[in-house]
Chains A and B, each alone.
Chain A
C-alpha cells in the first residue's frame, strides 16, 4: 500500500517551459488536492477535486491547470512556468470532507512533495 505518490520529486524548468506533476493514490479516496508550500506562507490550495471528472479552484489557481480523468490520479499542469511558481508542491487525498459529519475524520493524506525550481 503506497498511499499517495507524487512524480517527479524534483524538477528544474526554464521560464516558459511546461510540465505536469502526477499524483496517484491507492486508497480509493474521493477527494484530491494540490497545495503549494512557500516559506512563511503555509500550505495554499491550488486546485482540488471531489471526484472523478470534477475539478475546482482553490486559493491560488492562476497559472495552473488540473485534470482528474481517473479516480486514483490527479494531474497538475503548468503551461508556461514562471519563477513565481518555484515552490514545493504537495498532493493530498481524503476519503471524506472534514465537515461531513460524525465518524468522518476528514484527514488529509499527503504525498512526499515535489520540489520545482523555475529559472
Chain B
C-alpha cells in the first residue's frame, strides 16, 4: 500500500518568513495530493490540493509543488502570519483508490 512520509515534524518560523513542509510517497500510481490544516482542538480542513497532471498550484500565500519523478511534493507558505500556526498534514491517493493515506503531520509555530 501507499506510504507517505512527512518532514519536519515540528517547524518554527519568524512571522513574515516562509515555511516549507515536504512529503514523499511510495506508490508511483498516486495522482492526487491534498494538504490539510488542523488548528488546535479543531477538525482537519483542506487548504490546497494538486493532481499529477500539474507541477505547481498557488492560492494566495500558499503553494504546492509536485515532483513525480522523485515522488515528492511540498507545501510552501509565504509571508507567514500567526493564524498559520497549526498542524499540517499531507496525503496521497491513486486513481480508483477511495482511500487517502496521510503523513504524520508537521506542527508549524509562527513566532511573532
Instruction: List A residues at the B interface (Cβ < 8 Å).
Output: 31, 33, 35, 40-45, 48, 50, 56, 58-59, 90, 97-100, 105-108, 110-113
A106, B34: Cα distance in complex, Å: 9
A98-B93, A110-B43 known; A31 vs B9 contact (CB < 8 Å): no
Q: Within the complex, what minimum Cβ distance (angstroms) separates B41 from chain A?
A: 8
A33 surroundings in chain B (CB, below 8 A): 99
B: number of interface residues (CB 8 Å): 27
Minimum CB distance partner of B44 in chain A? A110
> Which of A41, A110, A113 meets B104, CB within 8 Å?
A41
The 4 closest A-B pairs by CB, nearest first: A110-B43, A42-B104, A99-B95, A98-B32
A48 surroundings in chain B (CB, below 8 A): 98-99
A40-B104, A41-B104, A42-B105 known; A111 vs B99 contact (CB < 8 Å): no
Instruction: List B residues at the A interface (Cβ < 8 Å).
Output: 1, 6, 9, 31-32, 34, 36, 42-46, 49, 89, 93-105
B32 surroundings in chain A (CB, below 8 A): 98-99, 106
A112 surroundings in chain B (CB, below 8 A): 42-43
A113 surroundings in chain B (CB, below 8 A): 43
A100 surroundings in chain B (CB, below 8 A): 95
A43 surroundings in chain B (CB, below 8 A): 44, 89, 102
Q: Within the complex, what minimum Cβ distance (angstroms) separates B64 from chain A?
A: 14
Minimum CB distance partner of A56 in chain B? B98
